Structure 1
């Protein structure tokens, strides 16, 4: 029986579908739902850029951190290439992570989940998700499958695949 669900999100469309499914399950089963995100400090600029452009999160992060940027970059490529210190970049990425889980929590509540919490960690994506599941006592993880091409998947592996292989609990992968 499912008693506690963790749904991992990176702000993507697939993650949104995972949130919808997890919220539906949590609502119908009357169990807690934790929205989790692994901060993407080591991510490529293109990956961060995709997240930021979709939700205009860079402007939000700049406002929240009061970074003093006269012209807030429209994407993270500009931020990463700019004169922002490493500590400031980390702080902005942290604010983006917080905003991703907050938006996901609102989405889950709108979908009917009533007991929703958020959890943000640093680390590798797969290990971070697995640690979150242990930390919050989840017996079920819901995660979106990324659309990596066959060659990329062969060399990199996907986060959902690694979580599926390593998890000690049930994992539901959403396409």
Structure 2
């Protein structure tokens, strides 16, 4: 029986579908759910740039951090290839992560989920998701399928594959 759900999202369209699916399951079963996101402070610019609604998130950062950081560029590439210090970049990545889970929590509540919490951790994606699952004590993890090409998947594997192989609970991959 499912009693506690963790849905991992990176803010992408696939992540949003995973949030919707998990929220529907939580509503149907009347169980709590946690929205989880893993920050990778050392992520490449390309990785950060692929986040869904990246330009909207940058605008959010401008509003959220304006008093602390001046001249925030208008897009992710400019943001992370600019002149910001490591500490400023880490704060910006943290604000992005907080906004991703806040938006996902609102989305889940709009679907009808009642007991929704959010958690943001740092680290490797798969390890962070598994760590959250163990700390929260979930019995189901819902994660989006990233959609890597066959060659890329052979060499890198996907986060959803790694989580599925290593989790001690049920893992649902949403496409």
The TM-score range, normalised by the shorter chain, is over 0.9
- Give the CA deviation at 1:54: 4.1
The CA distance in 1 between the partners of 2:141 and 2:52, in whole Å, is: 25
**Matching of residues 16-165 of structure 1 within 5 Å:** 16-51=16-51, 53-54=53-54, 56-66=56-66, 67-70=68-71, 72-165=72-165
The CA distance in 2 between the partners of 1:172 and 1:131, in whole Å, is: 17
What secondary structure does 2:37 align onto? strand
**Kept in 2: contact 1:52–1:76 (CA 8 A):** no
**Kept in 2: contact 1:62–1:92 (CA 8 A):** no
Greater than 3 Å deviation, 4+ residue runs: 52-55
**Kept in 2: contact 1:38–1:124 (CA 8 A):** yes
Aligned length: 174
**Kept in 2: contact 1:52–1:75 (CA 8 A):** no
* Structure 2: gaps spanning 5 or more residues: none
Which residue of 1 is the match for residue 8 of structure 2?
Answer: 8
The CA RMSD over aligned residues, in Å, is: 1.2
Deviations 1:30-66 (A, max 9, x none): 1000000001312221121122644511121232123
- Give the CA deviation at 1:74: 2.1
